[in-house]
Amino acid sequence: MGRIVTLDSRKEAALQATADRFVAVHKGDVMKALKEMTVLNGPLQERLDTLSARRQATR
């Protein structure tokens, strides 16, 4: 979680379009979309943390 990514304008536009579609799926309710995104990202972050721990353990 401690990593900052810099996006160029093309990637920023693609990210904005994806975010707009995600909010549209939730009928314009930004808070509902944000809550779902948080729930969806939790398990993904746990998997990434597990993979990172395994890599560090093998070093």
Per-residue pLDDT of the chain (59 residues; tens, 9 = 90+): 578 889 999 999 999 999 999 999 999 999 999 999 889 888 888 888 898 888 888 87
The answer as to whether 56 is a domain residue is yes
pLDDT of residue 15: 94
Decide if 41 is inside a domain.
yes
Percent helix, strand and coil across the chain, each to the nearest 5: 75, 0, 25
Quote the number of domains for the chain: 1
The pLDDT value given to residue 1: 55
Flag whether 12 is in a domain. Answer: no
Could you tell me the residue range of the domain that residue 55 belongs to?
30-59
- Give the pLDDT confidence score for residue 16 in this predicted structure: 96
* Residue 47 domain flag: yes
Write down the pLDDT at residue 22: 93
Q: In this structure, is residue 42 part of a structural domain?
A: yes
Q: Is residue 25 part of a domain?
A: no
Rounded Cα gap, residues 20 and 56, in angstroms: 37
Domain membership of residue 24 (yes or no) is no
Is the pTM higher than 0.85? The answer reads no
